[in-house]
Each structure stands twice: as structure tokens, then as C-alpha cells.
Amino acid sequence: MPKKKYTFIDLFAGLGGFHFALSELGHECVFASELRDDLRKLYNINFPGTRIEGDITKIAPKDIPHHDILCAGFPCQPFSQAGKRQGFNDEKDRGNLFYRICDIIDEHHPKYVLLENVSNLKGHDNGNTWATIKRMLEERNYDVQEQILSPHQFGTIPQHRRRIYIVCKNREYGDLSYFKFPEPNKRITCDIKKIIVESDPDYIPLKKDTREQLDLWQEFIDNTIANGQKIPRFPIWAMEFGANYDFKEIAPAYQDVTELQGKRGHLGCKIDGATKEECLAQLPVYARTDKSKVFPIWKIRYIEQNREFYKKNKKWLDGWIKKIKHLENSHIKFEWNCGNDATPTIEDKIIQFRASGIRVKLPTFSPALNLVGTQIPILPWVKLPKETLKPGEPDKGRYLTRWEAAKLQGMKNLKFGDDKFELTLTRSYEALGNAINVTVVKHIAKNLITE
């Protein structure tokens, strides 16, 4: 614990990751703001007595209590790789909320400023966005350091979640020459099983369709091994199996309709459209783009690798393809991120259904929690509480629970509600995906606040 108790404010508070971290280190939150009403209600449940307001743009900086530490996980969507990445040009002014942080700094001149955002912030707009943020902080007489860190680097939290952490100190109190970001421990091996609670009845079960899809991909793996092949390390784009449309010299969208007709497209089906639009609709989704006249090198390579794999395994793949024709595009794309030495089974791995395909990872650390509820990690091996099962239902396999997700964010004391209010399951996952990781902030704050 530090010798001195500091006051702090928690802006864009969400579930209160900064609050958990700094209060556990002995400091006091004197003000918080959170736009969403349901999260403000939950914040009151977890931190009773803390003043929390809504839209920070409608609160005058002078009406915010004096504080020693300003904490903010300012909105990341304008800088995220998953969004449009407009940054300060975001049409909804989310990027401009950083200016509100600066207004509050100008009014109160806190000793420390702690900020968190997506790792893509550092490289956004060729580094110009970060250069602007750093310059604006330095112009306010702050010494500034930044580092991209992930909880899994410290061993206690098995989650891969790269975020940029920005540490600032008011030069009136000295500089950051003494400060060092916590050093990642490269020797640590994480284990997702450390945070699993098999007795937790508050889980989302796997749908029948999901189990069938996983069974189909296990069949793919079994046949691959049985036929003397290794599980491909490149992404499997099954829609390329049997395809022979031209793609190397010029993208299909720039070809004449006669060059497309008669070729084979999605899952080897014959292209027989009367117009170019109809022909393009019979290609894999990623091959329809007209963004560039020539596909990028990585896309050409993946298509080539998948077609070569099909040629080697056509004998058994043709029968397997018939079983997957009804599936959505993202469900016939598959990524094996487990290496060549892992057991060739899905059941003991972490599964995630993503827009880019079904991703399989070793049961070491969870993929980053995110705002998309459909991408919650699947744990096929976890046994389900007997009291929750109906006769004949599978006794294992479910999604990561929200309580386990909270532990991944270092929020071991987080409450999801009380007898008057409960955050919905969907909103819980969304909020956790946008939350500040308590463990990483505590590591940083311990090194920063030494008085």
C-alpha cells in the first residue's frame, strides 16, 4: 500500500476497472461518469456512495471534485481495428471525447493521469493520432509514457488482451524518470482452467447446431490425419474447395462476365449467372470485392493453399463438402491456432466463433473479451452441473460464464446486480468486453504511485 491516500476520478467508468484497481491499493474515488444508465446502476451497487454522473460532456469541469489522479478508458471505437478507425474524425465525436479529458485536466491539474485504450491507437493514422494525444498532454506540462501490455504476460490472468496504457505525471511534482512499466514475464505459462468454475449454473449452453458444426470440423481433422496430412496452419477457407475461378492476375470483379461463366466458385458450384453481378454472387464472399483490381498477396496465398489442399484430399473432401453446404460463410472457415504438436481434437481446446471463421486455440489463455456477444469463448470440455440438465442433454460443453469473464478482467469482487436490479447476461458480456483490466492497472499503479 502507498503511504499516502490519493483521490481519483473514474471517467467513462463502465464496470469500474480503474475503481477496483485503485481502491484496492488504498485510494479513494470522488467522482465517476458513465453514459449508459444500466452501467451507472450497477456502478452504484458495486461502489455505493460514489458520486456517478452520466454524459461527461454535459458536466462543467469546475463541477467535478478536485482529485489527484484522473483515470479514463476513453471510448476506443474510433481507434479500434474492428471499427472504422476514424479517430479524431469520428462522426459521432467519440474521438473528440479526449478533448473533454483535456478540459478537466486544465481545470484541476491532477498529479497523475492514467489512460487506457486499444493497442491500435498507437499506430492509428500512421502514428498521427497518438502523436496528437501525446503532444496535447505534454503541452499541459505532463511527462508522458506509454506501453502496450496484456494480462497474460503477468501469469495471474489467462487472457490475451493487448491494450495501450498511458501514464502521465504533472511536472510540477517531478517527472517519470523513476517509473517503469511492469516487465512481462516471458517464462510464465497461463492456464485458462484456473478461472473455470464448473459448478456455476449461470452459463449459456451450446446450441445443437453449434455442437454439430464442431463435430463436422472434428471430422475434417480426423480425416486429415487419417490421410497422412497435418492440420493446416493456414486459415481453411472451405468455400475454395473445388473452385477454379481466375483470381491471380485480376480480381473477379474486374473480369468480363464471359471469363466468369462456366468456372467453378463457392464450394465448387458452377458459375452460371447471366450477369456479372449474378456470377460474382456465386463466388466466395471475399472474392467478390471490387476494392482493388488485384487481390493482396496474402489473399492470393490463402486461396492457393486451400486449392492445393483440396487437390491432395479431394477423395474424402468431396463427401465432407456435402455436409457443410448449408452452413453460414463464417462457419466454413476454420483456423487451427494450436501448432503441430497439439492433440488433434477440438474438445480440449478453446473455441471462438468469429466473423473470420471458427478459431481453435490451446487452453492456455482466453482470446480478448470483446463487445460482440456471439464471440464468447467456448469451453467444450467443461462438465455441466447435473442439476441444470434435462434428460438426454449433453453433460459438458458451454460458453465462458460472465463470472469467469469477470475474473479474466481481474474483477473478482464484481457484482452483476442486487435484489432490485440485475444487468442482463448480454449486457454483462458486452460491458466486460469493454472493461479495464484491473490486474494490469494495479501493476502499473504500484510502480507509479510510490509516495
Q: Is there a domain that residue 408 lies in?
A: no
- Give the per-residue pLDDT at 83: 45
Single pTM value for the model: 0.84
Are residues 120 and 51 part of one domain? yes
* Half-sphere exposure of residue 346: CA atoms within 13 angstroms, side-chain side: 24
Measured between alpha carbons, how far is 216 from 299 in angstroms, rounded to an integer? 25
Active-site amino acid positions:
76
- Give the per-residue pLDDT at 379: 94
Q: Is there a domain that residue 406 lies in?
A: no
Q: Is a pLDDT exceeding 60 seen at residue 87?
A: no
Return the higher-pLDDT residue of 425 and 265: 265
Name the 3-class secondary structure at 144: strand
- Give 238-255 pLDDT, tens digit per residue: 999 999 999 999 999 999
Give the chain's length: 451
Are residues 378 and 332 part of one domain? yes
Residue 89 pLDDT grade (very low, low, confident, very high; cuts 50, 70, 90): low
User: What average pLDDT score do residues 23-34 get?
Assistant: 96
Q: Which domain holds residue 143?
A: 7-187+415-448
Measured between alpha carbons, how far is 120 from 115 in angstroms, rounded to an integer? 14
Share of the chain residues as helix, strand and coil, in percent rounded to the nearest 5:
40, 15, 45
Q: Is a pLDDT exceeding 90 seen at residue 43?
A: yes
User: What average pLDDT score do residues 124-136 get?
Assistant: 85
Q: Is there a domain that residue 115 lies in?
A: yes
Are residues 25 and 168 part of one domain? yes
Are residues 379 and 238 part of one domain? yes
Are residues 439 and 344 part of one domain? no
Name the 3-class secondary structure at 139: coil
Tell me if 294 sits within 8 A of 246, measured CB to CB.
no
Q: Is there a domain that residue 277 lies in?
A: yes
Are residues 83 and 219 part of one domain? no
Cβ neighbours of residue 174 under 8 Å, at least 6 residues apart? none
- Give the per-residue pLDDT at 104: 97
Are residues 133 and 104 part of one domain? yes
Q: Is a pLDDT exceeding 60 seen at residue 368?
A: yes
β-pairing verdict for 333-337 and 236-237:
antiparallel
- Give the per-residue pLDDT at 92: 52
Are residues 213 and 146 part of one domain? no
Q: Is a pLDDT exceeding 80 seen at residue 295?
A: yes
Are residues 294 and 262 part of one domain? yes
> Number of folded domains in the chain?
2
Say which CATH number the domain at 97 has.
Answer: 3.40.50.150
Measured between alpha carbons, how far is 331 from 213 in angstroms, rounded to an integer? 7
Q: Is there a domain that residue 407 lies in?
A: no
Are residues 100 and 178 part of one domain? yes
Residue 438's CB is within 10 A of a number of other CB atoms, namely 26
Are residues 304 and 167 part of one domain? no
Measured between alpha carbons, how far is 7 from 168 in angstroms, rounded to an integer? 16
Task: Report which residue type is found at 221.
Answer: I
Tell me if 398 sits within 8 A of 206, measured CB to CB.
yes
Q: Is there a domain that residue 193 lies in?
A: no
Sheet-wide strand order for 142-149: 52-53, 28-33, 7-11, 69-72, 112-118, 163-170, 142-149
Q: Is there a domain that residue 201 lies in?
A: no
* Half-sphere exposure of residue 342: CA atoms within 13 angstroms, side-chain side: 20
Are residues 219 and 139 part of one domain? no
- Give the per-residue pLDDT at 80: 47
- Give the per-residue pLDDT at 141: 97
- Give the per-residue pLDDT at 323: 96
Q: Is there a domain that residue 203 lies in?
A: no
